[in-house]
Amino acid sequence: MKTSSTGKRPARGQGASPTLSRAAAPDVVVEFLRNIMPFNELDEEKLQQIARHVRVDFYPRGTRLLTAGETELTHLFLIQQGGVRSYIVDDEGEVTLKDYRGEGAYIGALPIIRSTPANLNVETVEDTFCFLLPREDFLDLIENQPGFAQYYLKNFSEKIVNTAYTELRRHRMGRRSDEDLLLFSLQVGDLVKQPPRSVAADATIQEAARAMAEYRIGSILVHRPGDDTEIIGIVTDRDLRNKVIAAGLDFGEPVERIMSSPVTRVLSRAVCFDALLRMMSGSIHHLAVEQKGRVVGVVTSHDIMLLQGNSPYLLFKEIGKQRRIDGLYPLSRRIPDMIRNLVIEGAKASNIARMISILNDQILTRLLTLLEEEMGPPPLPYCWLLLGSEGRREQTFKTDQDNAIVYADPADEQERRAAGDYFSRFSRQAIDHLVKCGYPLCPGEIMAVNPRWCQPLSVWKDYFSSWVESPEPRELLNATIFFDFRAGFGHSPLADELRAHLNRITGRQEIYLLHMARECMASRAPLSFFKNFIVEKNGEHRNKLDIKHQGLAPFVNFARILALRYRVNETNTLARLHVLADEGHISGDLWSAAHAAYEMQMQLRIIHQLNQIDQGEEPDNYIEPGQLSDLEKRMLRDAFEVIDRLHGVLKTLFPVV
């Protein structure tokens, strides 16, 4: 273990003690204080007086300065050089805040003011020098210097406390009384109002209906006969209407004939927003709430909708009920306002992207369903493929159309002509309607309306095989778009078969993956040798960097290469990385770092684009680092540094790169 310049070993766990620090040169301290708030408002005499009491200490990287709930603050830490991170750990040991502070920042103000132990864990992230102002001197400034107390209390409350405890509450899901939107602050378990009601699988439909009427509930769980703890299904009032009354089914039949199985579950400690995503992505209205392996109740979509007046679920339902395609046009344009509420509330970027994807998918599903009704059924089964960021479920507010159609192979020439005619007309109208819904045309014409990207399955297999067998630059570019495909609408087994084909051919073509790895590593992190941001020097985007291509793309490309190598069927970048970590292909530490880095960049990108929309501008991906806060700059640098770690993995897997 390293030792500090004073000869003491860095303390860990309980918090580093400044008792072995040494006196600092007063003139150096004064020069430092003149440049940080609120000390820069003090007169020269006061600065000199304070400087005589200040000491300096050195803390190697990884030193625990403070431990939440334990460390007693005897000094205010002022970071003269280096940096620290502060965080809170929840009951399950999960870090719920990563707040980085650099030169000129302070540590420990609020605990000193409130006479409490440290409220955050603080650890150095690099070798760090701190000036140490004695507690008594700091409290004297708070009491006697105008503006000091206001600065620290207001600054700490707004920038640290709110952030830290909002994050902490998001994990613990405690109710917040100061907000109307509770999707991120309430546990699913808090919505359960009564114990689970269930009937045995061999009970009659009439007995199940009678129990639902007795308990005044819209659904009832179904348990295995003889074991009421093993839930195997659920029956809803909709099942009674559609599967019994409308179908003329005998009420004396066993309830297991109409139950839905298995029951979709959600953990009682999950945030309500997670339940909402589960319902919307699965088009279900009831979730069994699970606690320690047992079902403790049921929550419904109605329960979730009551949490907020402008619910994403209401928009989701409104889209699904539309009977006219032109009725979808204004609904799709409400998505940015819906997402804005989630951003303000504190949703993570990955959840925001997922919500955008769910709502966009619902628009597409309803549009193509209505279009099929207008044109009549297709001559062959088909699947509408979503490509690129749509295929990865990573859309933001700047999403061109990237789509295609794969259909079953025609049996003869007559079927071939019929399919060609139908899907040509179908895709042309679909793309036109999507444009009117607010989804721009793809400049590269990678859309189903392009005859090249509207083909039978055998042709798509030939496309993929030729791209993999001869990895020229154009084919590598195709991989970044087409190989992230997923089924958007229609006959999904066609997409599944195409994915299986891709897995087979890439498994035999190591040279292709090597070329992809080489392309990935050609994209360097936008940081100079001295860790400054590399930005555009002139032109329209002067002093900006492209966070999509320079920051996010290396993570996307890395995840794609390893997903192809290890036959991971997930297309979402974070989901791919998660599977790769679970299967031992990357370390848990790299997964954690990559997840945090990707999430942080996505958050910056989404907020940047929302601000542009608010100002009536076309959203883009160009971030101006000079406009970021010190915290955001530090976190962005850390995110970019993870790119080198990803490249290190690729060098190990492909030594000749």
**What's 224-259 look like in SS3?**
ECCEEEEEEEEEEHHHHHHHHHCCCCCCCCEHHHCC
Q: Report the C-alpha dihedral over residues 488, 494, 497, 503, rounded to 10 degrees.
A: -40
Residue 94: what pLDDT?
60
Q: Give the model confidence (pLDDT) of 285-317 as tens digits.
A: 899 999 888 899 999 887 877 665 557 888 888
Q: How confident is the model at residue 397 (pLDDT cuts 50, 70, 90)?
A: confident
* Cβ atoms within 10 Å, residue 213: 10
Tokens 């820069």 belong to residue: 40
Cβ–Cβ under 8 Å, residues 494 and 381: yes
Strand partners, 405: 384, 454
Closest CA relative to residue 188, chosen from 311, 274, 293: 274
| CA–CA separation, 271 and 274 (whole Å) | 5
Q: How confident is the model at residue 561 (pLDDT cuts 50, 70, 90)?
A: very high
Cβ–Cβ under 8 Å, residues 272 and 191: yes
Residue 101: what pLDDT?
81
Residue 411: what pLDDT?
96
Share the mean pLDDT of the chain: 85
Residue 362: what pLDDT?
94
Sheet holding 382-386, edge to edge: 454-456, 403-407, 382-386, 486-490
Spacing of C-alpha 50 from chain mean position: 46
Closest CA relative to residue 405, chosen from 390, 429, 391, 386: 386
In 3-state terms, what secondary structure has residue 122? strand
Closest CA relative to residue 503, chosen from 560, 446, 448, 587: 560
Question: What separation, in Å, do the N-terminal and C-terminal C-alpha atoms of the chain show?
Answer: 35
Cβ–Cβ under 8 Å, residues 52 and 30: no
Q: Which has more confidence, 117 or 489? A: 489
Spacing of C-alpha 257 from chain mean position: 39
Strand partners, 129: 58, 81
Residue 201: what pLDDT?
94
Structure tokens at 523: 């994209």
Q: Is the per-residue pLDDT at 576 higher than 90? A: yes
| CA–CA separation, 467 and 122 (whole Å) | 50
Residue 5: what pLDDT?
34
| Amino acid, single-letter form, for residue 287 | L
Going along the chain from its start, the domains and CATH numbers come out as 22-172 (2.60.120.10), 188-309 (3.10.580.10), 324-508 (3.30.460.10), 510-657 (1.20.120)
Structure tokens at 157: 């409350």
| CA–CA separation, 626 and 321 (whole Å) | 46
Q: Which has more confidence, 148 or 163? A: 148
Residue 328: what pLDDT?
95
Q: At what angle do helices 553-565 and 492-507 cross, to 10 degrees?
A: 80
Segments in 470-509 forming alpha helices (H)? 473-482, 492-507
Q: Give the model confidence (pLDDT) of 580-623 as tens digits.
A: 999 999 998 899 889 989 988 998 898 888 888 878 888 899 99
Mean pLDDT of 271-283: 82
State residue 331 phi and psi, 5-degree precision: -65, -40
Cβ–Cβ under 8 Å, residues 560 and 576: yes
State residue 443 phi and psi, 5-degree precision: -60, -30
Q: What one-character DSSP code corresponds to residue 548?
A: I
Cβ–Cβ under 8 Å, residues 118 and 131: no
| CA–CA separation, 261 and 232 (whole Å) | 6
| CA–CA separation, 607 and 624 (whole Å) | 13
Residue 171: what pLDDT?
36
Q: How confident is the model at residue 1 (pLDDT cuts 50, 70, 90)?
A: very low
Q: How confident is the model at residue 164 (pLDDT cuts 50, 70, 90)?
A: very low
Q: CA quadruple 267, 268, 274, 280: dihedral positive or negative? A: positive
Q: Is the per-residue pLDDT at 111 higher than 70? A: yes
